[in-house]
Structure 1
Amino acid sequence: MQKNIAIVGAGFSGAVIARELAQAGYKVEIFESRPHIAGNCHSERDAETGVMVHIYGPHIFHTDIERVWEYVNRYSRFMPYVNRVKAITNNSVYTLPINLLTINQFFGKTFRPAEAQAFLASLGDKTIENPVTFEDQALRFVGRELYEAFFKTYTVKQWGMQPTELPASILKRLPVRFNYDDNYFNHKYQGMPEDGYTSLVEKILDVPGVTVHLNTRFDPAQKDEYAHVFYSGPIDAWFNHAEGRLPYRTLDFEVFRDTGDYQGNAVINYCDNAQPYTRITEHKHFSPWEQHEKTLLYKEFSRQCEEKDIPYYPIRQARDKVQLERYVKVANEEPNVTFVGRLGTYRYLDMDVTINEALSTADKFLACAKGNERMPAFVIDPLA
């Protein structure tokens, strides 16, 4: 009798792998410790306001990967949505990412693109030839004034560390534009699933051969009952934290409701110390095609993740990667288990990358099964 496939976690990683394997003829059981599917992308209607709420904080879909965009559009109608973030610092409102409007407003100028580019270059610290830290990177490319206004304090609130403790690579993800484009992302495809992410995941899982067990934890001791296990939980938890707990940041949300339009925008960042929270998100603006008389908002607070918290952002400092290396070593020796997703590989992944890697993982498994080869513990190297 053929053993079933076990998948731990009903987020995008688990759902996509489950569907692909079920369509190939496998029986798949998904074990989800929470009372719902879709992981941290879970969304649901608020009973009081009717607003579609991103329960674990906002998720905006953006990608350049054709295969992924085509895949998610099979299961949901994606509505146009452009993320236009505003930032409040020193009692003024600006546009993020930093663009020509931000620069002109902040410095009281009317620069054209080339002028702004030359001006910003003149502010950069040329003595920093090879930026190592977040602060180095900011001072080198945007100068002290913009760094302190938009990045320094926000970074401390978000990561709980000084920018001198964080790698320069974090800031490399934040673009500076010398035009008036205020689209936070620059991907070809951007949008929101019309009925929310949970509906999207539900439709991905709607295939013969998949059984979902909610409110059910999977014990690693059960692995021998299955032909293979795909694990999207925290990699350190699989090994009972034998090498110590990998550090994450988690989020607390202060939810409040109001009438009308509270802030006029989906996301406003608070970049100075006037408030302890990092941003306020107004969820009805994530569904601009809907109309609601009332509104629901999240104040977002970041802190160190404790044992019973939901992990959000892997920190991945140098010492953490050394710890991760030890987990990767034992994981590679674990038979018939593949570690996937943000938590399983201890990497920050956007939704589109998560889906793309899940599709690649399913492809790899089917190829290994056909060739009677061993399925690796990682399809994507978490140390890369």
Structure 2
Amino acid sequence: MVGAGLSGAVIGRHLAMLGHKVTVVDARGHVAGNCHTERDPATGVMVHVYGPHIFHTDDAEVWDYVNRFQTFMPYKNRVKTISRGEVFSLPVNLHTINQFFRATMGPAEAKAFIESKADTSITDPQTFEEQALRFVGRDLYEAFFKGYTQKQWGVSPTELPASILKRLPVRFNYDDNYFFHKFQGMPRDGYTDMVEKILDHDGITVQLNTRFDRAQAGEWDHVFYSGPLDGYYGYDRGRLGYRTLDFERFTHQGDYQGTAVMNYGEVAVPWTRITEHKHFSPWETHEGSVLYREFSRLCGPEDIPYYPIRLTAEQSLLRDYVARAETETGVTFVGRLGTYRYLDMDVTIREALDCARRFEATLATGERMPAFTVKA
């Protein structure tokens, strides 16, 4: 298993329980990848070291799986945003609409009002901006989506595809829960503790601070690779594009912002949001507080990749690397980096379980394990 994140841990655990000897290697000095958590020694706050990760899913098997290794506490993600000198609730809901337009509309009235604001001349939205203007109108778009999106992606929303804004980002009720999913929560003792327990099996050996080179692939019966797809080949045909994040960490005595996530929608503010980590564990009490100001930028060679860009230039290079990978034997590319797709944690675990079962089936039938078990 190349990578001790969710993909490597879940696949490794499944195969170890079948009797295989599994080696997990990771270049970092800890397990759990970008969902790594650790307690701040000064405040006792559980810190999401690489930015906040909130678990939400409709997949009952995945929910049961993570609860085998960690107690998940109830947690609802309620995001606020500062725009035009006021604090609003996200996602845009009936409270946001009434506050923004200084109104007291009911659901049906608000829906008709927003539809009247929409640009109905746009019949086939091609860009993010066109999609937003078509469905929410210019006022809400410029207040809540334009600036934040420009900072997050580093380009104008006129250059981003409409698919990024997949669904109407408005609710015509007062529900301010950011997610719709049936199961939502946070691991009581952190994600790193959960991943450590997944990896705690006699058949698993974990080697941290260890880099993998594809020249070593032949040393194992099979390699499950969750590192960057282009990195497997030493980036010899170019680098796939990612956005990365910089965090400006600071502390505060008391409660700094009263919520876990405060977005900043205006371009004039350089950070995209401030996260206050003690609010991700509302069952705990801490006087001190640990906060991150979050900045998004293009990922460089030495940076941690977060969000695959997947725009035109990347699509062509991606097809090149995928075609090359599909000729490989004895290696399967998994996870966010291995398949160059943005994945929530529950989807990562689902795909890892399915991948492990696919490998189990190939051993029984003698089929070749494919390089990808999902479309990259």
Q: Do Structure 1 and Structure 2 share a fold, with TM-score over 0.5? A: yes
CA offsets, 1:85-121, max 9 Å, x none? 0000110110000000000000111110000100101
Q: Which runs of 5+ in 2 are unaligned?
A: none
Paired residue for 2:37, among 43, 60, 83?
43
Structure 1 unpaired stretches of 5+:
1-6
**SS at 1:172 equivalent:** coil
- Quote the residue 2:241 is aligned against: 247
RMSD after superposition: 0.7
Matched, 1:331 2:312: no
1:233-278 superposed Cα distances (whole Å, 9 cap, x missing partner): 0000001112210000000000000101000000000000231000
Secondary structure of the structure 1 residue equivalent to 2:275 = strand
Q: Which amino acid aligns with 1:215?
A: N
CA contact (8 A) 1:97 1:174 kept: no
Ranges of 4+ aligned residues in structure 1 off by more than 2 Å: none
Query: Do structure 1's residue 114 and structure 2's residue 82 form an aligned pair?
Result: no
Deviations 1:305-343 (A, max 9, x none): 000000000001122111100110000001111000000
Separation (CA, whole Å) in 2 of partners of 1:127 and 1:92: 31
Residue 276 (structure 2) pairs with residue 286 (structure 1): no
Partners in 2 of 1:73 and 1:271 — Cα distance?
Answer: 35
Distance in 1 (alpha carbons) for counterparts of 2:308 and 2:140: 26
For residues 32-76 of structure 1, the C-alpha deviation after alignment (integer angstroms, 9 at most, x for no partner) is 000000000000000111100000000000000011001000000
Within the alignment, does 1:235 sit opposite 2:229 as a pair? yes
Q: How does 1:11-30 map to 2 (within 5 A)?
A: 11-30=5-24
Preserved contact between residue 150 and residue 267 of structure 2 (Cα < 8 Å): no
Residue of structure 1 equivalent to 2:152? 158
Secondary structure class of the residue paired with 1:48: coil
1:124-153 deviations in whole A, cap 9, x for unaligned?
Answer: 111111111100100000000110111111
CA displacement at 1:173 relative to structure 2: 5.0
Give the drift of 1:175. 2.7
Counterpart position of 2:252: 258
Which TM-score applies when normalising by structure 2?
Answer: 0.99
How far residue 361 of structure 1 moved from its aligned partner, in angstroms, is: 0.3
CA distance in 2, matches of 1:135, 1:322: 24
**Identity between Structure 1 and Structure 2 (%):** 66
Offset, 1:174: 6.2
Are 1:148 and 2:142 counterparts? yes
Letter in 1 for 2:133: L
The residue type paired with residue 370 of structure 1 is A
Q: Which residue of 2 aligns with 1:354?
A: 348
Partner of 2:310: 316
Separation in structure 2 between the aligned mates of residue 172 and residue 326 of structure 1, nearest angstrom: 27
Structure 1 residue 186, shift from structure 2 partner:
0.5
Give the Cα separation in 2 of the matches to 1:289 and 1:356.
Answer: 28
Equivalent pairs counted in the alignment come to: 376
Q: TM-score if structure 1 supplies the norm length?
A: 0.97
What is residue 214 of structure 1 aligned with on the other side? 208
CA contact (8 A) 1:133 1:167 kept: yes
- d(CA) in 2 for partners of 1:359, 1:131: 37
Aligned residue for 1:64?
Answer: 58
Partners of 1:57 and 1:175 lie apart in 2 by: 23
What SS does structure 1 have at the residue aligned with 2:92?
coil
Query: Which of 99, 102, 121 is the aligned partner of 1:127?
Result: 121
Work out whether 1:177 is the aligned partner of 2:147. no
C-alpha change, 1:337 and 1:132, in structure 2 (3 Å) is same
